[in-house]
Structure 1
Amino acid sequence: MLGINCSRTALFTTNATVFNAMGCPEAAVVCGMNITWVLANSTAQDADDMCLSEKEYLAMFLGPPRSPEFLPVCVTYLTIFMLGALGNSLTCLVILRHRVMQTRTNYYLLSLAVSDLLVLLLGMPLELYEMWQNYPYLLGEGGCYFRIFLFETVCFASILNVTALSVERYVAVVHPLKVKHMTTRAHVKRVILMLWVVSMLCAVPNTSLHGIWVLPPKFGRQFPRSAMCHVIKPIWMYKLVILISTLAFFLLPMLIISILYLLIGLRLHRERMIIVVETGCSFGPESLSRSHEQKRSKRNLQVTKMLCVLVVVFGLCWAPFHVDRLMWSYMSEEHHHIFKHVHIVSGVLFYLSSAVNPILYNLMSSRFREMFSHVTCYSNSWSARSSLQLTQRSTLSEKMPNSI
């Protein structure tokens, strides 16, 4: 059988040659292409593309259907998933099961753990699915909207929880007399609920800009297998939304948090100096009072150190995520190879931030470390033996509003 000639010369010969079995239009007919359109509007590039298979055509414009980095990224993600799912589940369990752990500070940590679990249990599988099959996107518009809405909501909820947690620490340390009136448990629950509602509302704009995008028709053909979850509204709207969200939900909160912890550090340093001076000059009942103040200051310092480390790690892990979004919005085509590497690094750090918090609690909080061990390692007999101690500490912690 004679080969099919797809050159531009063969395409524009006389009618006898055009409809000859050796001409390219016959191949175009086989591929379902519109010959009239090709004859009237084709360019040299069109002639080169016309006889490509659908798979080759999609790969030329959209890249390979499976990400080349899928395997190493998948292994990394699954490792993070196991650590994060276990750690955050334990965090939720110890806070919900033990009244001694149900402090105002820990309610914010519980909300943050729920946000991290949503990312790991729902967000990570969706991203791995997209890396396994970049196109076509088989989950439809509903799946696309859900994915974007989920990521935006947990992004906003996480930073708002960390900010609210920092404000609570500031009030507890710098204005301790206002704690009983401003930060009751009911008040904290209302604040957390409001933060999640605000996060959901703020996730709507970016979600509404996305939808199912397909390659435009060419050669009279449709390309339904090119469907992707992508921005479908004008790109300037997406750029504006990303810029505002980066400023309002990362840079500004991190600035506020930094200032709050600076003020907390100055206050704790001042209290420590005063206690050192007055301890050496007091006797009797005053000495006992100073000892109590010293213990309270030490407890505040331990809690503040742990939360300060949490905030620093949070900022380091989330900064590449926002850089990734800004780069995608504003970069030019020639920098695409740089963006690919930034996207992988930002994704790993994004999910790592959802797994690292329980590790920090275990390393820096003796109470969390004890509770994690109590849930995972110790026998029922130890539990019965320690229940009295937990009850006693629970009663004591109710009188100490700054304890974690």
Structure 2
Amino acid sequence: MCVMEGSGSGWCDECENGSIWTDQLLFSRTELAVVTALCVPLLLLGLLGNILTILVVWLRPQMRSTTYLYLSSMAVSDILMLALMPLDLYKLWWYRPWLLGDAVCKLSQFVSECCTFSSILHMTALGAERYLAVCFPLRARLLVTRGRVRALIGGLWGVAVLSSAPVMALVGVERVGGGDAECRSTQFAQSSGLMTAMLWLYNLYFIIPLALLTLLYGLIARTLRQRAHAHRDNTHRQTLRMMVVIVLVFVLCWLPFHVGRTLFSLTPEPGAGLYYISQYLNLVSFVLFYLSAAINPLLYNFLSARYRANVRSMLHLPPGPATELRHRAHPSLSSTHF
């Protein structure tokens, strides 16, 4: 994730008094050390949690519901994003000269954008699937099958790849300033209007799915309120609760990035104050970006008794106290909770 590209400005390699300078803004080594100290635990926890999510879905047959097929695919996306963290930390500390070549510059940004688009598309598709399951259960049984969901997941990744393809022309290695190579937005992207077009694409990928998910989850909540309480509806409520939390966390993690980039890009001649705000929003969004990739398994564990029980079983850990009590009270329901 090239958080500084959104501002249309690169880094300078001039370091004085233990600090790293941008064109107008100073990031101290202390600030960068804090960012690094926050991100490294996220890398370890995120990789462990997302790998466990994939394993528990594919090794435990009772976890291969259509919902968890989406979540395991999202876990793949999160792993790929987290795998790019060392490279992004390298960019933060030693942005210039760029020593890793043009291919690494382009591919790292492409993979980052592709995974971001993929996660958004997965959340939107899962929201639509939940809407069918709750509001049109008979139709959902015919339309929503594991085979079709697997095919749809492949299609979502295809759309994400196509949407991210322009990034290959958006960034590249160019020589600036004193002749040092830098991985940055290209002059072609800025002069041709490609950067502006991609900015609008990023914002549409954020705004439209958010609007659709708000509508779908609102309709689901209304339908559940109108129906008599039943065990299946309780399961739907648990699923809805978890998905709403996942979407809200995603929005909170990405909102500073979109606000900062849009605020700066739409201002014809941003002053030093606006540049300062934009760049520090980018620094905050750097941490939030990786938080969004690492936190989902923790949310599953906290909100889903089914996920929690199957992870403990896969790791040969004793069941938690709540699971034991529920199993003793309702043995037939112990595996049905989302």
Aligned partner of residue 233 in structure 1, secondary structure: helix
Matches of 1:67 and 1:251, distance apart in 2: 34
Which of 208, 220, 226 aligns to 1:252? It is 208
In structure 2, what residue type is equivalent to 1:84? G
What does 1:114-193 align with in structure 2 at a 5 Å threshold? Answer: 114-121=76-83, 123-193=84-154
User: How far did residue 109 of structure 1 move?
Assistant: 0.4
Matches of 1:129 and 1:315, distance apart in 2: 26
In structure 2, what residue type is equivalent to 1:298? N
Distance 1:74 1:56, change over 3 A: closer
In structure 2, what residue type is equivalent to 1:230? S
Distance 1:263 1:215, change over 3 A: same
User: How far did residue 56 of structure 1 move?
Assistant: 8.2
Matches of 1:325 and 1:150, distance apart in 2: 20
In structure 2, what residue type is equivalent to 1:268? L
**Correspondence 1:324 to 2:281:** no
Contact 1:212/1:228 (CA < 8 Å) preserved in 2?
yes
After superposition, what is the alpha-carbon deviation per residue over 1:206-239, rounded to whole angstroms, capped at 9, x for unaligned?
33121112226xxxxxx44243333332423202
Aligned length: 307
TM-score (norm 1): 0.70
User: How far did residue 166 of structure 1 move?
Assistant: 0.3
Contact 2:127/2:217 (CA < 8 Å) preserved in 1?
yes
Distance 1:140 1:226, change over 3 A: closer
**Which residue pairs with 1:88 in the alignment?**
50
User: How far did residue 155 of structure 1 move?
Assistant: 1.1
**Which residue pairs with 1:70 in the alignment?**
32
Aligned partner of residue 317 in structure 2, secondary structure: coil
**Correspondence 1:353 to 2:314:** no
In structure 1, what residue type is equivalent to 2:81? V
**Which residue pairs with 1:306 in the alignment?**
242
Gaps of 5+ in 2: 1-12, 319-330
Deviates more, 1:319-328 or 1:86-95: 319-328
Which of 209, 226, 230 aligns to 1:270? It is 226
Point out the structure with max Rg over C-alpha: 1
Aligned partner of residue 213 in structure 1, secondary structure: strand
User: How far did residue 328 of structure 1 move?
Assistant: 4.5
TM-score (norm 2): 0.83
Gaps of 5+ in 1: 1-53, 217-222, 276-293, 380-391, 398-402
User: How far did residue 375 of structure 1 move?
Assistant: 2.8
What does 1:22-41 align with in structure 2 at a 5 Å threshold? Answer: none
**Which residue pairs with 1:282 in the alignment?**
none
* Structure ranking higher in strand proportion: 2
After superposition, what is the alpha-carbon deviation per residue over 1:179-211, rounded to whole angstroms, capped at 9, x for unaligned?
222110000001000000110011011331211
Kindly, what percent of the aligned residue pairs are identical? 34
Q: CA RMSD in A?
A: 2.9
**Which residue pairs with 2:199 in the alignment?**
242
User: How far did residue 82 of structure 1 move?
Assistant: 1.5
Aligned partner of residue 92 in structure 1, secondary structure: helix
